[in-house]
């Protein structure tokens, strides 16, 4: 049984029950973790609460050094972390290795940003006064992340949270917590209690989010769960940062270079076997190029290698669970009933005899806008292609969604690109380079895709609140103090 990290020490959980973690490709056991209960949650939150005032007072230059050191420790463990993450997520090893680099870069970025960001000076309203703001931490942050990017999404919360002076209790995904426990070894240079890691399922996450000493909940996951967290947080007046689901559009305009657009769309949808919040789940293609696009997409996707994610030639690994694969299979079946045409794939299978939760890369064509494939988030390797008459229809349909996490387009025309950008409501808008993130730019959703932002200066501000300081360096009695009769003009009268 794995230990959990509380107050700078690896300790046994009070809760005796355990969760077995299996490789989703081979179904072989990888280890077991505690299913932490209320007592373990309380220990972790108490440690974070006790550590927070001291951590807040650590000078910014020292915080920056410690965050950079975390990044360096993660880089030193890159191979081991990537391999473990591949084993427990099913993510191809090359994707996992890239992910570790992004994780380290996030800690390094916030190590620098936090040093130079504290507040602002504002013009005073009267003589001999100074007005300025400082930005203070909320206190204790609960960081809860999903299975698809367990380390990256945790880094996006932990790095800015501690850079801002908060302390954190991390709850990794119950499907694959082992790599987060391994990454937590990189926190050993921090003061005890600054970062704590507990494990468990949804009940553990609920207990953590509901704990009265948690001041802010940073959550990435489904919109349904995000709504429950928002309602619970509202009852307790907790702050929330929520990065939720989406059904992101991708428009391929008729002037696009298909030598670029075909592999670009395929990658943007099939990365991590389609288990990405920002993957392109609705693909709109202008009719003049739609037929050629579909044929070339079919040829390209059929060539991709599905199999053991530890092998260097593998492009797509398994889905995270049998339940996830069955859900995708059901959604594909319903999409076909809605009138879509199955061009490729469409079912679970076992490549090379592997017993895991694999799903064939799937292409659905003639997908009707408003059908299942455009209204439900399909978390699997399914490309849903909808032909459109022209650019106006493409933009209109792309924007016709209750979600707004990201959107991508391919076009050579700057005017078309700008018109689409201005019309489509999305937290990130990618033009000719889908799904590329930037540590210095904000990431998050509009509409039902979330509240708040991660990354960039905005990601730092998500974990701190401003305090206005008003200073008068001359101590004097103000003319507006009581008694008000002293303010009457000579010869005046009183009314009332």
Tokens representing residue 373 in the block: 């494939």
Tokens representing residue 372 in the block: 């299942």
Instruction: Count Cβ atoms within 10 A of the Cβ of residue 178 and give its class: 0-12 exposed, 13-18 middle, 19 or more buried.
Output: buried
Segment 224-233 shows an average pLDDT of 96
For the segment 23-39, what is each residue's pLDDT rounded down to a tens digit?
999 999 999 999 999 99
The reported pTM is 0.95
pLDDT beyond 70 at 376: yes
Cβ–Cβ under 8 Å, residues 115 and 50: no
Categorise residue 369: left if φ over 0, alpha if ψ from -120 to 50, beta otherwise. Answer: beta
pLDDT (0 to 100) of residue 490: 66
For the segment 323-358, what is each residue's pLDDT rounded down to a tens digit?
999 999 999 999 999 999 999 999 999 998 899 999
pLDDT (0 to 100) of residue 193: 98
For the segment 69-110, what is each residue's pLDDT rounded down to a tens digit?
999 999 999 999 999 999 999 999 999 999 999 999 999 999
H-type alpha helices, 58-184: 60-76, 78-89, 93-113, 152-163, 178-183
- What confidence tier does 491 reach under pLDDT thresholds 50, 70, 90? low
Cβ–Cβ under 8 Å, residues 18 and 34: yes
Tokens representing residue 160 in the block: 């800015």
Domains and CATH numbers, the chain: 4-244+447-470 (3.40.605.10), 248-439 (3.40.309.10)
Tokens representing residue 250 in the block: 């991708």
pLDDT beyond 50 at 494: no
For the segment 420-460, what is each residue's pLDDT rounded down to a tens digit?
999 999 999 999 999 999 999 999 999 999 999 999 999 99
Categorise residue 31: left if φ over 0, alpha if ψ from -120 to 50, beta otherwise. Answer: left
Tokens representing residue 188 in the block: 């050993």
A 10 A CB-CB count for 438 gives 11
pLDDT > 70: percent of the chain: 98
Q: From CA 317, how far away is CA 309, in angstroms rounded?
A: 5
- The candidate with the shortest Cα–Cα distance to 52, out of 110, 138, 115, is 138
pLDDT > 90: percent of the chain: 95
Q: What is the CA 302 to chain-centroid distance, rounded?
A: 30
For the annotated catalytic residues, the residue numbers are: 243, 277
pLDDT (0 to 100) of residue 15: 83
For the segment 147-180, what is each residue's pLDDT rounded down to a tens digit?
999 999 999 999 999 999 999 999 999 999 999 9
pLDDT (0 to 100) of residue 486: 81
Q: Cα 106–110–113 angle (5° rounding)?
A: 140
- What residues have CB less than 8 Å from 346, skipping those under 6 apart? 329, 332, 336, 360, 362
């Amino acid at each position: 049984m794995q230990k959990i990290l509380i107050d700078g020490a690896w300790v046994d959980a009070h809760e005796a029950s355990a969760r077995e973690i299996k490789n989703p490709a081979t179904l072989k056991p990888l280890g077991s973790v505690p299913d932490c209960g209320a007592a373990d949650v309380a220990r972790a939150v108490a440690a974070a609460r006790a550590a927070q005032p001291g951590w807040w007072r650590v000078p910014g230059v020292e915080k920056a050094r410690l965050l950079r050191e975390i990044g360096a420790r993660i880089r030193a463990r890159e191979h081991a972390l990537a391999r473990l993450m591949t084993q427990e997520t099913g993510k191809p090893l090359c994707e996992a290795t890239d992910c570790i680099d992004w994780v380290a870069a996030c800690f390094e970025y916030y190590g620098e940003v936090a040093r130079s960001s504290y507040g602002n000076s504002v013009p005073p309203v009267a003589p001999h006064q100074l007005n300025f703001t400082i930005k203070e931490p909320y206190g204790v942050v609960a960081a809860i992340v999903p299975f698809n990017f367990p380390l990256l999404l945790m880094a996006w919360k932990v790095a800015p949270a501690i850079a801002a002076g908060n302390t954190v209790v991390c709850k990794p995904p119950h499907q694959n917590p082992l790599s987060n426990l391994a990454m937590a070894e990189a926190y050993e240079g921090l003061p005890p209690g600054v970062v704590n890691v507990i494990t468990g399922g949804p009940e553990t996450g609920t207990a953590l989010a509901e704990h009265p000493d948690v001041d802010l909940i940073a959550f990435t996951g489904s919109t349904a769960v995000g709504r429950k967290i928002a309602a619970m947080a509202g009852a307790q007046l907790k702050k929330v940062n929520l990065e939720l689901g989406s059904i992101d559009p991708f428009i391929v305009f008729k002037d696009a270079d298909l030598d670029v657009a075909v592999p670009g769309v395929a990658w943007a949808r099939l990365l991590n076997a389609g288990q990405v919040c920002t993957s392109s789940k609705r693909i709109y293609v202008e009719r003049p190029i739609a037929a050629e696009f579909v044929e070339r997409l079919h040829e390209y996707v059929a060539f991709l290698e599905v199999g053991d994610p530890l092998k260097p030639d593998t492009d797509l690994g398994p889905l995270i669970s049998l339940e996830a694969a069955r859900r995708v299979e059901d959604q594909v079946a319903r999409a076909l009933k809605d009138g879509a045409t199955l061009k490729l794939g469409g079912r679970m299978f076992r490549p090379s005899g592997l017993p895991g939760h694999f799903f064939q890369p799937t292409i659905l064509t003639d997908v009707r806008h408003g059908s299942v494939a455009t209204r439900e988030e399909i978390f699997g390797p399914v490309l849903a292609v909808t032909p459109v008459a022209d650019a106006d229809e493409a933009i209109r349909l792309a924007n016709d969604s209750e979600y707004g996490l990201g959107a991508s387009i391919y076009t050579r025309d700057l005017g078309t690109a700008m018109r689409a950008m201005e019309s489509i409501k999305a937290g990130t808008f990618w033009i000719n380079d889908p799904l590329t993130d930037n540590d210095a730019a904000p990431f998050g959703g509009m509409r039902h895709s979330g509240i708040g932002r991660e990354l960039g200066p905005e990601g730092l501000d998500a974990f701190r609140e401003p305090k206005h300081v008003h200073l008068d360096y001359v101590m004097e009695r103000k003319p507006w103090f009581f008694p008000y009769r002293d303010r009457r003009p000579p010869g005046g009268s009183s009314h009332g």
